[in-house]
């Protein structure tokens, strides 16, 4: 779906906050169909961006914990 989103779970280092934000932005743009939302949709777009970034952070943290436990 989003070929420009690169893997963020890397063996040599954790993802940076900027990488997480960029991936979330690419995802929200693709799903919404907006490169830049109108003023009427800006709040929903930004909320989705925050939620996707937070979900990504949590997932990466959980994956790292599971790798460390193995």
Q: How confident is the model at residue 70 (pLDDT cuts 50, 70, 90)?
A: very low
pLDDT tens for 17-56 read 999 999 999 999 999 999 999 999 999 999 999 999 999 9
Q: Does residue 25 lie within any of the structural domains? A: no
Distance CA 49, CA 6 (A): 17
End-to-end CA distance of the chain: 31
Question: In this structure, is residue 53 part of a structural domain?
Answer: yes
Look up residue 16 and give its two tokens.
Answer: 């940076």
The whole-model pTM stands at 0.81
Across the chain, the runs of DSSP E, i.e. the strands, are none
User: Containing domain of residue 63, as a range?
Assistant: 44-70
**Count of domains for the chain:** 1
Residue 21 lies in a domain: no
Alpha-carbon span 54 to 45, nearest angstrom: 14
The answer to whether residue 12 is domain-embedded is no
Any domain includes 66: yes
Let me know if residue 9 belongs to a domain.
Answer: no
């Amino acid at each position: 779906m989003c070929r420009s989103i690169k893997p963020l779970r890397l063996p040599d280092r954790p993802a940076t906050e900027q990488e997480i934000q960029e991936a979330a932005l690419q995802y929200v743009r693709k799903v919404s169909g907006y490169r830049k939302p109108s003023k009427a949709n800006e709040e929903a777009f930004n909320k989705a961006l925050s939620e996707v970034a937070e979900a990504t952070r949590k997932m990466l943290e959980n994956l790292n914990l599971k790798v460390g436990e193995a």
